[in-house]
Amino acid sequence: MIDVVELTAKLIQCPTVTPREAGALKLIGKLFENTDFKIHSIDRGGISNLFLRWGEKNLPTLGFSGHIDVVPPGNLAKWEYEPFSGKIVGNVLFGRGAVDMKSAVAAFCLAAIKYSKKSQPDFSIALMITGDEEGEAKDGTQAILDWMTDNDQRIDHCIVGEPTCPKTFGEVMKIGRKGSMTCTFKITGKQGHSAYPHLAINPINAAMELLNHLIRTELDNGSKFFEPSTLVITSISANNNTNNVIPSEVTTSINIRFNDNHTSDQLTQKIKKLSQEISNKTKTHVDLDFRVSGEPFYTEPTNLAKLVKQSVKKITGVEPAFSTSGGTSDARFIYKKCPVVEFGLVGEKMHSINESVEISQIFELEEIYLDLINEHARHFKNSF
Ligand SMILES: [Zn+2]
């Protein structure tokens, strides 16, 4: 059988910049051809995804989730090796997706096949592989989860293979993530001559007042599993290149990463109220546009999280800390179905030029996932 590093390199050679499948899912389909896994293709909105299951769907099921799409390589001239070459130099594998996250997909696929060939199907493994995580993520994991609901396909626990370790392999696993939302304010005043400000209504002044208020507001002090929530200004623009005109309009955006002290609805209501107050006070008109990428969630650090911790420690010798830091991942959709924990490689080089990973880590990751399947089967065979 192909080894996990060779498989990762082959996946890297498929240039799967979202939304392109570029042969990667076909390659995975082929890998499972002579196994007892059932393969389901789930296509929606121009995105291809796969769902694979070994064992009957009513059995206790451990799920794995990962994406094969990658972000664009950026400036090609700056890459030491061609980004879709999957080149191995010494102990290092180079290429876009080496860390985020073709190696984890290769690792859980091979671990699952190895387990299935040696075991009785008195337990089930489900693999969810999406082509839309780095993009809008509307037709990726969400499409798989919708298909699962329609086809009565359940899972009891899920591991997401996103990179989770900051520097040393094994040091961090994620048991949750903050929520993320963006609000864009379009503030309209009254255009005028900058020498006669009393005749105009300057929307920039209103924006300053609003933003000052927002960034000075302490959202919370953190919670049991989370760091404090944060709010940052991400853009401000009046599109004004003159010095003698007060513009009529300014647009500004904020991004909030919030913990379980809040919901996006509560934050939306607070921002609406504040905007109304500023609008009344400054005689401007404020239009609001909210985009919510995900609500905060966490999985109690018990059953599933404990098993992951044990397997990581057994293979790497490092005891992983439970964390809820970082951006969003597909775990934000999966937690609605079942407890979900994330563990993967060292994420330092993800999305960067010369993305690369030590191949010994990829071999260890496969061992960790295989150990986890064994332990999960042992603990949960009869418990759901
Ligand atoms: Zn990723």
Domain check: are 197 and 164 in the same one? no
Question: Going by DSSP bridges, is the β-strand pair 124-130/61-67 parallel, antiparallel, or unpaired?
Answer: parallel
Q: How far is the CA of 263 from the centre of ligand 1 (A)?
A: 24
Number of structural domains found in the chain: 2
Query: In the structure encoding, which two tokens stand for residue 221, read together?
Result: 């002090």
Q: Are residues 190 and 308 in the same domain?
A: no
Distance between alpha carbon 303 and the CA centroid of its chain, in Å?
23
Q: Do 18 and 74 reside in the same domain of the chain?
A: yes
Same domain, 210 and 285: yes
Q: What is the dihedral of CA 141, 113, 34, 41, to 10 degrees?
A: 0
Report yes or no: 105 and 20 within 8 Å, Cβ to Cβ: no
How much is the pLDDT for 276? 98
The enclosing domain of 314 has a CATH number of 3.40.630.10
Structure confidence at residue 308 (pLDDT):
97
pLDDT of residue 269: 98
- Looking at the structure, tell me whether residues 265 and 319 fall in a common domain: no
User: Which domain-ending residue is among 237, 271, 294?
Assistant: 294
**Is 232 found in the same domain as 91?**
no
How far away, in angstroms, is 330 Cα from ligand 1 center? 9
Q: How far is the CA of 161 from the centre of ligand 1 (A)?
A: 8
Of the candidates 107, 149, 159, the one whose C-alpha atom is nearest the C-alpha of residue 329 is 159
pLDDT of residue 384: 59
Q: What are the 10-residue block averages of pLDDT along the chain, 384 residues in total? A: 96 97 97 96 97 95 98 95 97 97 98 94 94 93 98 96 97 96 98 96 98 96 95 96 96 97 98 98 98 93 93 98 91 95 95 96 98 94 68
Q: What is the predicted pLDDT for the residue at 121? A: 82
Are 39 and 157 within one domain? yes
Range of the domain at 191: 179-294
Measure 255 CA to ligand 1 centroid, in angstroms: 20
Task: Tell how far the Cα of 102 is from the centroid of ligand 1, in angstroms.
Answer: 9
pLDDT for position 145: 98
Q: Please list, in sequence order, all residues whose beta carbon lies within 8 angstroms of the beta carbon of residue 241, skipping any fewer than 6 positions away.
A: none
Q: Ligand 1: distance of its center to the CA of 177 in Å?
A: 14
User: Which entry of 69, 132, 139, 355 is annotated as an active-site residue?
Assistant: 69
Domain harbouring 273, CATH code: 3.30.70.360
> Cα(11) to centroid of ligand 1, in Å?
14
**Residues 6+ away with beta carbon under 8 Å from 23:** 14
Is the same domain home to 28 and 43?
yes
pLDDT score at 131:
96
Measured in Å, residue 374 CA sits from the centre of ligand 1 at 25
CA atoms within 13 A on the CB side of 336: 11
The question of whether 220 is a catalytic residue gets the answer no
Kindly state whether residues 99 and 227 are assigned to the same domain: no
Give CA angle at 351 (350, 355), nearest 5°: 60
Query: Which of 277, 294, 311 finishes a domain?
Result: 294
Does this model's pTM top 0.85? My answer is yes
Cα angle for residues 157, 162, 165 (degrees, 5° grid)? 110
Q: Do 36 and 163 have their domain in common?
A: yes
Is-contact 127 38, C-beta < 8 A?
no
In the residue annotation, 367 being an active-site residue is answered as no
- pLDDT tens by residue, 160-191: 999 999 999 999 999 999 999 999 999 999 99
Q: In terms of domains, do 61 and 91 share one?
A: yes
| Beta bridge partners of residue 25, listed in sequence order | none
Indicate if 319 and 172 belong to the same structural domain. Answer: yes
Pick the last residue of a domain from 294, 310, 341.
294
pLDDT in the model for residue 313: 98
- Residue among 21, 100, 133, 364 flagged as catalytic: 133
